[in-house]
Structures are given as C-alpha cells and as structure tokens.
Copies of this chain bind each other. A is one copy, B any other.
Amino acid sequence: MRKMSDGVEAALHSALVLTAVPDGKVLTGRSLATLHGVSESYLLKHLRALAAAGVIEAVPGPRGGYRLAREPGQITLLDIVEAIDGTEPAFHCREIRRRGPGKARDPCVYTSDCFIKTRMLAAEQAWRAALRAQSLADLVADGERLIDPGNKAAVAGFIADEQR
C-alpha cells in the first residue's frame, strides 16, 4: 500500500492525549508538540487539519488551545486518518478500458464503473470499515491496559501542568 502521511501517527497520538484533558480545559499546539517531541509547526499543520475536519476544536484567544470536538467514542480512527490523508480512493482508474482496439464505439457501454475498479474500491471499503469500527475510546482502553504506569504518570503530570 502507498505510504500515508507521517502526520497520521502524530494526529492519532495527539487526539489520544486530548482525551485526558478535563472538560473546559485545552492544550496548546506547543504543549502537544513538546509532549510528542515533534516541531510545533509540523504538528500545527495536522492539528489544523483535525480541526477543519471537526475532530478537534480550536479555542481562540490568550487562554486558547485545542480540545476534542466530541466524545472519544464518537471519533473513529477513520475520522482522524481522513482528516490528515483525505478521502480520495487509493485505486486510480484512468478508464483504460476506453482506449485501444478493444474500446466500444457506443459510449453507452460505459455507463457503469469498470468491474475491476468496483472490486478495487470494495477492498478499500473493507479498510475504511475496519478504521470506522475503532474509536478513540478503544485507544483509551488500550492505553489503560498497555501504557507503562511510569509513562502514564509522566504524561498525566505534563497535562496537569500544561492545560489551560
């Protein structure tokens, strides 16, 4: 499969961190960048994409920052992937069936998609369905179980210090 944007990893981790920010509080892009050891400008680009897609909200002003736009269970992994990487299909049909000596003289032959395209897009839908079936709430549950207690405490301390 073609590589997706590097930003997907940072976006998923940032969204997971935002699940731990208390109601009414926000984290700045700078805090999220520091926490993930990435540059602020790099992360801001992806945070803006998440905000444009309605996954997170940008609270403006001097006490502003980012928070989740809805409950973790209502934000799927597909929402985050598509916010960063777009919704275009990976398979690209250039209608090569319409070229060469085998092509139809009657254009009405081509009113439906090529069956090869249909099968390729159906396979992509399996991937999207698998991402849509998983939410930030699943990542929270994984984290409870799998993040090392020392790490968890360090991240919780960082959020407590940095939230505003």
Partner of A158, one of B101, B116, B125: B101
Q: A104 at interface (Cβ–Cβ under 8 A)?
A: yes
Q: Is B127 a contact of A1 with CB atoms below 8 Å?
A: yes
- Tallying the copies of this chain within the complex gives 2
Most chain B CB atoms below 10 A, which of A89, A117, A154 = A154
Contact size range, A? 35 or more
Interface string of A3-43 (1 = CB under 8 A from B): 11110111011001000000000000000001111100000
Interface residues of A (CB under 8 A from B): 1-6, 8-10, 12-13, 16, 34-38, 77, 85, 88-94, 96-97, 99-106, 109, 112, 115-117, 119-120, 122-127, 129-131, 134, 138-139, 142-143, 146, 148, 150-151, 154-155, 158
